[in-house]
Amino acid sequence: MRDHHLLEMQEEEENEINLTPMLDVVFIMLIFFIVTASFIKEAGLDVNRPDAPVTETKPEEANILVAISATDEIWIDRRLIDPRAVRANIERLHAENPKGSVVIQANKKSTNKMLVTVMDAARQAGVYNISIADNRS
C-alpha cells in the first residue's frame, strides 16, 4: 500500500509541467525586442504646416505657390504646368526670390502621389523650406 502511494507521487511529479525554461525564453525574447525596437527609426516626410493662412509678404521674400487641383493638375504662377517641368519652374522662381519658400496648396481630392512629386521636385530644385497649406475647396 505504501509503495503504491509512493508510485502515485512520482507519477504526479512527472506529469507536472516545468515552466522555468519557458519563462527564460520569454525573458530573452523580451530583452531582444526591447533592444531592437530602440534601433528602428520610422521613415517619413518632415512637413512644415503654416500656423496662419498665407499672407502677403515683401516682394523679395515672396513664397512660391504651387497649387494642386482636384484632378491632379499642377498650377504655378497661374499657369498649368506639366509634372516633369515642376522642378525647372521652381528653380526659376527660386532664383528670382532666393529667400522665398515653397507653399503647396493641395486640393483635398488630389492624390498624395502628386503632392510627393511636387515636394520631391522642390527639393531637387534646392528648396528645402516647403510648407503645405490647407485647401478645403
For the segment 3-41, what is each residue's pLDDT rounded down to a tens digit?
Answer: 566 666 666 666 777 888 889 999 999 998 888 877 666
Entry field: residues in the chain: 137
| The model's pTM | 0.53
Nearest to 134 by CA among 100, 113, 108, 112: 108
- Contact present, 88 and 122 (Cβ < 8 Å): no
pLDDT recorded at residue 25: 93
Domain limits of the chain? 2-37, 59-133
- The backbone torsions φ and ψ at residue 36, rounded to the nearest 5 degrees and listed phi first, read -70, -30
Q: What is the mean pLDDT of residues 43-71?
A: 67
CATH topology of domain 59-133: Nucleotidyltransferase; domain 5 (3.30.420)
| Mean pLDDT computed over every residue of the chain | 77
